[in-house]
């Protein structure tokens, strides 16, 4: 099927490939940066896949941003502080035959991030 992704159970053994039924619309690579994004079918959120991040984050809403930040802060790669505002459990559907319950930190980030816990 054109536009589908296949996951292999071995190293280079295409005969053991599993059709994950992820359409090309669910996965994208930003042309300027080469960053990998994946789309959640349930919440309509586009997530950046960041293998260098230890946590997964959701952008905090403008309403929640008015709350006092929690004492726990994250640190970005450029050493700036990222304020956190609690956490949220989401049921995420990435097109992998089942959905996943995923704990996200609500943080002052510009877009949703799935970290190395993926």
31-82 per-position pLDDT tens digit: 666 778 888 888 888 888 888 888 999 999 877 777 788 888 999 889 999 9
Q: What is the pLDDT of residue 74?
A: 92
Write the CA distances from 104 to 21, 42, 59, 78, 83, integer angstroms.
Answer: 25, 16, 10, 21, 14
For residue 3, pLDDT over 50 is answered with no
Query: Which residue bears the tokens 């619309």?
Result: 25
pTM, entire model? 0.68
Tell me the three state secondary structure of residue 70.
coil
88-103 per-position pLDDT tens digit: 999 988 777 888 888 9
């Amino acid at each position: 099927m054109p536009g589908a992704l296949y996951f292999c159970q071995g190293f280079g053994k295409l005969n053991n490939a599993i059709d994950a039924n992820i359409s090309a619309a669910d996965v994208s690579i930003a042309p300027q940066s080469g960053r990998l994004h994946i789309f959640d079918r349930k919440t309509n959120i586009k997530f950046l896949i960041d293998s260098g991040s230890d946590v997964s984050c959701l952008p905090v809403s403008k309403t929640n941003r008015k709350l006092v930040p929690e004492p726990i802060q994250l640190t970005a790669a450029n050493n700036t502080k990222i304020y956190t505002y609690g956490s949220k459990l989401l049921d995420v559907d990435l097109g992998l035959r089942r959905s996943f319950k995923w704990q996200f930190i609500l943080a002052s980030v510009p877009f949703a991030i799935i970290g190395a816990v993926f």
